[in-house]
Amino acid sequence: MQEQHISTAFDRDLEGIQSNIMKMGGLVEAAMIDSARALKNRDVELAERVRGDDKKIDALEMLINEDCARLIALRAPMASDLRAVLSVMKIAGALERVGDYAKNLAKRTSLLIGSATIDGSEGSLLRMIKEVEAMLGDVLNAYVARNTDLALAVRLRDHTVDQMYNGLFREILTHMMEDPRKISTCMHLHFIAKNVERMGDHVTNIAEQVIYSVSGELPEDARPKGNLAVADDL
């Protein structure tokens, strides 16, 4: 990776913060996987566990922010060190948001108990979660390996997620029009889908922070957007 600092304590501090980011990333990944499984199996117990575990994610974010504040105050990081600290704070913030959405997904699972599954749409939704979860895994790898190519690739995949969301949106709308009794279930599914789409945006932000931290520059080109016009109006 990078050369060592003359002050080994500086290296220790930075490594400590980075290992906390990875720990946080691992917890968020687990929250996504578990909340998806809870939804699929209508598993209230698992959903409750996801909701409870979100506190650990929040606590880690606070810890990371405190460590960063201390590092800035005591070590006055410069150049790549400064960028590392700035990006860590933003990545921690983005991870916390993704964790929140997973918690929200788990909360809605509890509300869906007893309602019929919506054929097709739930499968699409689970695939979408899986895609975002894979992106999160890749972006965390890109972070550890300081791999900007991988981060760029993750950033481009957000487009796919947007498209998946648009497809789901139409599917869910169709179900609601066909059978008004499904509206309440469909509304929950739609909120979940929207939240997963937002998770994808946060993962993309993380990818951009990885690129900034390594290269000092944010990607300039606007990233390709799925057409969200129809959905954003709602």
Partner 1 sequence: MTKLPIKISAKNVDVFYGAAHAIKSVDVEIADKMVTSFIGPSGCGKSTFLRCINRMNDTIDVCRVTGDIMIDMEDIYDRRVDPVQLRAKVGMVFQKPNPFPKSIYDNVAYGPKIHGMARNKLELDEIVEKSLRRAALWDEAKDRLQEPGTGLSGGQQQRLCIARAVATEPEVLLMDEPCSALDPIATAQIEQLIDELRSSYCVVIVTHSMAQASRVSDRTAFFHLGELVEYGYTSHIFTNPSDKRTESYITGRIG
Q: Which residues bind partner 1 (CB under 8 A)?
A: 2-7, 10, 76-83, 216-217
Nearer to partner 1, 52 or 216 (CB): 216
- Nearest distance in Å: CB 64, partner 1: 20
Asked if residue 167 lies in contact with residue 231, where contact means CB atoms within 8 angstroms, the answer is no
Give the residue with the Cβ less far from partner 1, 76 or 229.
76
Q: How many CB atoms lie within 10 A of CB 225?
A: 10
Contact 92, 21 (CB under 8 A): yes
Q: Please identify, using beta-carbon distances, which residue of 16 and 216 lies nearer to partner 1.
A: 216
Instruction: Name the minimum Å distance from CB 79 to partner 1.
Output: 5
Q: Which is nearer to partner 1, 76 or 234 (CB)?
A: 76
> Phi and psi at residue 5, in whole multiples of 5°?
-75, 160
* Closest approach of partner 1 to the CB of residue 80, in Å: 6
Residue placing its CB nearer to partner 1 in the complex, 18 or 160? 18
C-beta atoms surrounding 90 within 10 Å: 15
CB of 82 to partner 1, least distance (A): 6
CB 102 within 8 A of CB 54: yes
Tell the smallest beta-carbon distance from residue 62 to partner 1 (Å): 26
The DSSP-derived string for 29-69 is: HHHHHHHHHHHHHT-HHHHHHHHHHHHHHHHHHHHHHHHHH
